[in-house]
Structure 1
Amino acid sequence: MARFLILAPLLLALGACDRGADERPVVVDAVEQGARGDVERVLLRSALAQGLVRFDAAGQVEPGLAERWNMVDDGRSYIFRLGDATWSDGRPVTAEQVVAALRRAVRVEAAHRLTPFLRSIDEIVAMTPQVIEVRLKRPNTELLTLLAQPELAVIRGPQGTGPLRRLQGRGIRLRAPVDPEAPPPIGADEVRLRGSRAALAVVRFAEKRSDLVLGGDFADWPLVAAANVRPADVRVDPARGLFGFAFVGRAGFLSTPFGRAAVGMVLQSANLPGRIDSGWGAADTVLPERLDSLADPALPPWRNLTEEQRWATARAQVAAYGRPVRLRVALPDGPGATLLWGRVAAALTRIGIAGRRVAIDAPADLRLVDRVAPYDSARWYLATACRDCSLEAMTLIAAVRDADNLPERAQLLATADAALTADVAFVPLARPWRWSLVASRLRAFQANARAVHPLNHLRTDTR
C-alpha cells in the first residue's frame, strides 16, 4: 500500500504530461524542393477547399460538398446532392456557385496536370439549388477519384469551404470551424503547416519539434536513414504510379527500338530501386495490373532473355553501332537521386555508353518520371509514359479518350499498351517511393496507394 502511495503522484504527473503533450497543436513540415512540386500549397488548398468529394485518411473517396451521389447511364452521368456548407465568410454554398467553379477548373485553359483527363466532361449543370449533374461525352467510371483531387477543389474568389479554416496570426494555422455551442477547442485541434527543405524537416522531426513530415520521395530517402528516427515513425505509402525513365531523345543510337531496348534491358537488370532501399521492389511493366484494359500488362521485348543474355545483347548493340554513344540522363537533386545516378552510370558504362547527369528539366535523352497515379485507369499510365513515343502509340492513346463505350475502350487500352511497350518508349523500374514521418499521437494517419494525407484526418478520423 505504501508503495502505491509513493508511485501514485508520479503516475498522475506522467499522465498529465501525456495529456498536455496531446493537447499541443499538430506541427506539419511539407517537404519542398524545386521541380518536385509545391507540397505545402497542395496541402493548404486541400485543407481550405474541397470538391464535391474529397479523400479520407485511407485515400478513399468520401463526401465533400456533396453528401451523396449516384452514377447513371453506365457512367455517362453523375448526380450529386449538396449538403449544408458555407464559404469561409459564413455564407451558404449554392449549386450555381459550385457549377461555376467546376466549369473554370475543367476548362482547357486551366492547364493543370488533370486537364488531359477531364475532356470527357461535356456539361456541368445545376438541376436544383442543391443538385448538380456532371454529364459526360463518354463513360468514365473513375470520375469520383478525379473530382477528389485538389485541382478540382471548389474555390470562389479567395474563399473555400473547408474542411479547415485558416486562423489569424503568423504562419499557416488551421482549424476546423468551431461550433459556438460546443466546448472550446483544444490546442490539438489546430494544425500548423510550413514548407521545409527535406534535411531540415527530418532534423526537426528527430528533435521532436514537429509531429509530421509529408511529401518525402526517393531523392531524400537517405536522409531518413541517417537521422535518429524511430522505425515505427517511418511510413512508406504503397503508392501506385510510374517510376522509370522516358526516352525523350530519339537521335543516333536511340533512333531505333533496338537501341532503346539495349538501354532499357540493362537499366531493368541493374536493380536501381534496391540501391535506394532493399525493400523497394522492382517493376517491369508500365501498367501495375490489368486495370480497365482488356489484357494483362504488356511485357518488355527482352522478357525471355536471362540476365546474362541481356547484358551481352546490350553490349553487342552498342558495339554494332560503331560510334561513341553518349546519353544525357535527367534526374532531380537529392542524395537518393545521386545514389540512383551512380548505379545508372555504372550500368551504361558496362555496355560501352558514356552517361552524363543533367538537371531534371534540362534537355536530355532519358528523363526520370516519378508520378503517383491520380486515378486507376490504364490511360493515365500510358499517356504519362508516352513522352516521345511512336505515332502508332500516340494515336491509340488518343483513341482511348474518344471511345464510345467501355468494351471498345478496354480493347484500345490493351492495344496501346502493347504498342508503347514494343516501341520501348519507357523503361519501368518500380512504383513511386513516398514516405512520411509520423508521431505516434497522430493515430488516424494511414499510408495509402494515393499517397494523400489530408490535414483534417490526422488525430481522429471523425471530421
Structure 2
Amino acid sequence: MTPRLLSSLFGPVLALLVAGCDTASDRPVEVAVIGDPGSPFVGGARLPLAAQLVRSATAEGLVGFDEQGRVIPALADRWIVTDDGLSYIFRLRDGTWPDKTPLTGDSARAALQQAIGSVRGTPLGADLAGIDEVRAMAGRVVEIRLRQPQPDFLQLLAQPELGLMRKGRGAGPMRQTREKRALLLKPIPPEDRGLPQTEDWAERSRKLRLVAMTAPRAVERFNAGEADLVLGGRLADFPRLDASGIARGAIRLDPVAGLFGLAVVNPQGFLSAPERREALAMAIDRDALGATLNIGGWIATTRIVNPGTGDDNGTVGERWPGQSLAERRTTASARVTRWVKNGKTPRLRIALPSGPGSDQLFARLAEDFKAIGLDAVQVRDSAPADLRLVDTVARYPRASWFLNQLSCANMRVLCSASADRLTGLALVESDPAKRADLLAQAEAQLTIANSYIPLGVPIRWSLVSGKATGFMPNPWNIHPLMPLAMLPK
C-alpha cells in the first residue's frame, strides 16, 4: 500500500480516537500488525499474521492459546487423553453457533473436518496427517483418533487455521466490525458464549482496533503514542528500533524456534550440484552474523532441526566438527575454482524482504561468499532469485515440523525425496525411539541434499506500551487478542 493510502487509512482512525470516550473500557486498544496493508485480514490455507489473529479471536477451535502460549479450553471446556495416546475425547461447552444452532458433537465434527481439509497440501496439513478419524459421540462430545501418539497434538489443534466455523462464522470469543481497512474487535460476554457470568466483565473488557501496516509506519505510530502495541516484528526491521530511539523496555523478543536460512530456489548452473551448494553453507561465518545482528539470545546453527528439539535423539550434530572457518572456506573455494574453470564466476541473486535488517544480513552473506570467490546481489523478496530467505516460527517443538516445512510438497523446487520417505515412515512408526531415528535419518538426507542453508533461529519482536495488558513473550510467537482486551483483575 502506498503512503497516501496509509494516510487515508489512519486519518479516520485518529478522528475516532479524538471523538471517543476517555474511559479505559471505552477507548479501544490500538494494535498495529506489521504486514501487507492491502488485504490483511483474509487468506487461504496459509494465513498472514493479521488474519491469524482475527481467526483466533473470532473462531475458536476445540482448544486455544493463552498469552503465555499455553493450550487452554475453548469450544471444548475439558478433555481426556487415553493411556495409549491415540484418542483425544473433547467435551464441548454448552453454547450455540452464531446462527443460534446448538453446538453439538456432529456440528463440531463437521467444522473440524472442514478446517483440516482447508490446510491439506500445506505443512500444517502434513502435521495433521496423523489423524485417523474424527467421530461425533453422544451430545456434545467429539473424539479424535490418531495413528500414533503425538505429544504436541493439542498445540496443533490450537492453531488459528483450525478455528471452527459454521456457515462461515465462528463462535468468538470476540466479534468483529470493519472500519474501512481497520477492524474493531469486541469481547463477547461469557454468558453469551455458554460460560458462567462474570461480575466485573463490563469494567474489565475493552475493544481492540487492529490495523495492518508497514513496519516504518507501525514504529512511527508507536513512538507517537498512537499505537499501544506493535506485533509481527522480524529481523528485516529490527534496526529501525534503535534508529527511532524506542526505549529498550518497550521491546519484547520471543524466544522462538524455527527455520531461518536460505532455500535454494534455482538449482541451475553452480547450484546444480549438492557439493557446490554445500560450499555456500561452509563459507558462512555464523558467529560474525550474530555479532552483526546484535540481538541478545540469538542462536546460530548449521542444522536444519534446531538444537534441543523435543524428539532430537542426538545422532545429528552441528556440521563440519573440528574444522575451522578458514579450513571450511579453503574446501569451499576449491569447489568454486573448479567450477569457474568451466565458465564465468557465478553471481548469486539473494531474495530478502526489504528493510535495514535484511541489508545487514545481505552485507554479511555477500562478504562470506566473496571470501570463496562468489559474487552476490540482493533482490526483492518477490523477484526471481537463486536463494530465498526462509523465516518461519515452529508451531510445535518436534523434528517433524522442520522436515514438513522443507518437504517436496511444500518447497516444490528443490527437496529430498528420500527425506520425505523417511519422514513418512516416521509418521506411522509407533515406537518413539525408532521414530526419532527415522526423523534423524530424514534430517541427514535433507542435509546431504543441501537444498536449505541454515543460519540460526528466527527473530520475532513486538513493541508494548504501558497501556497494553495481557501480553507475554513466549516460544511460539503467539499473542492472542482476547487477553489484550481484558484489564487485569
TM-score grouping bracket, smaller chain normalisation: 0.7 to 0.9
What do residues 286-308 of structure 1 show as CA deviations (whole Å, max 9, x unaligned)?
22235353622623442321122
Greater displacement, 133-142 / 120-129: 133-142
Per the normalisation by structure 2, the TM-score is 0.83
What do residues 349-380 of structure 1 show as CA deviations (whole Å, max 9, x unaligned)?
22111223233344433221100011121011
Q: Secondary structure at the match of 1:189?
A: coil
Select the residue among 192, 196, 213 that pairs with 2:213. Answer: 196
Do the aligned partners of residues 51 and 453 (structure 1) sit closer, same or farther apart at CA in structure 2, a change above 3 Å counting?
Answer: same
Q: Which residue of 2 aligns with 1:219?
A: 236
Select the residue among 24, 28, 32 that pairs with 2:31. Answer: 28
Do the aligned partners of residues 406 and 82 (structure 1) sit closer, same or farther apart at CA in structure 2, a change above 3 Å counting?
Answer: same
Question: Contact 2:206/2:487 (CA < 8 Å) preserved in 1?
Answer: no
Q: Which residue of 2 aligns with 1:66?
A: 76
Written as runs of structure 1 = structure 2, the 5 A alignment for 1:12-411 is 20=23, 24-33=27-36, 38-72=48-82, 74-107=84-117, 110-167=120-177, 171-178=182-189, 182=199, 185-186=202-203, 189-269=206-286, 271-279=288-296, 280-293=298-311, 295-296=313-314, 298-321=316-339, 322=341, 323=343, 324-386=345-407, 387=411, 388-411=414-437
Do the aligned partners of residues 308 and 110 (structure 1) sit closer, same or farther apart at CA in structure 2, a change above 3 Å counting?
Answer: closer
What do residues 176-230 of structure 1 show as CA deviations (whole Å, max 9, x unaligned)?
2235975683596111111111111111111001110111111111222221322
Question: Contact 1:242/1:373 (CA < 8 Å) preserved in 2?
Answer: yes
Residue 149 of structure 1: how far off its partner (Å): 0.2
Which whole-Å CA distance do the structure 2 matches of 1:421 and 1:100 have between them? 40
The alignment's C-alpha RMSD in Å is: 2.7
Q: Which residue of 1 aligns with 2:443?
A: 417
Aligned residues: 445
Per the normalisation by structure 1, the TM-score is 0.88
Do the aligned partners of residues 281 and 384 (structure 1) sit closer, same or farther apart at CA in structure 2, a change above 3 Å counting?
Answer: same
Q: Which residue of 1 aligns with 2:7?
A: none
Which whole-Å CA distance do the structure 1 matches of 2:487 and 2:68 have between them? 10
Q: Secondary structure at the match of 1:104?
A: helix
Which whole-Å CA distance do the structure 2 matches of 1:95 and 1:462 have between them? 34
Question: Contact 1:82/1:131 (CA < 8 Å) preserved in 2?
Answer: yes
Residue 109 of structure 1: how far off its partner (Å): 6.8
Which whole-Å CA distance do the structure 2 matches of 1:246 and 1:25 have between them? 41
Question: Contact 1:290/1:297 (CA < 8 Å) preserved in 2?
Answer: no
What do residues 228-256 of structure 1 show as CA deviations (whole Å, max 9, x unaligned)?
32211110110111111122333333333
Q: Percent identity?
A: 38
Which whole-Å CA distance do the structure 2 matches of 1:137 and 1:408 have between them? 15
Do the aligned partners of residues 216 and 50 (structure 1) sit closer, same or farther apart at CA in structure 2, a change above 3 Å counting?
Answer: same
Do the aligned partners of residues 290 and 439 (structure 1) sit closer, same or farther apart at CA in structure 2, a change above 3 Å counting?
Answer: closer
Residue 456 of structure 1: how far off its partner (Å): 0.9
Do the aligned partners of residues 90 and 173 (structure 1) sit closer, same or farther apart at CA in structure 2, a change above 3 Å counting?
Answer: farther
Do the aligned partners of residues 162 and 274 (structure 1) sit closer, same or farther apart at CA in structure 2, a change above 3 Å counting?
Answer: farther
Structure 2, gaps ≥5 residues long = 1-21, 41-45
Greater displacement, 86-95 / 34-43: 34-43
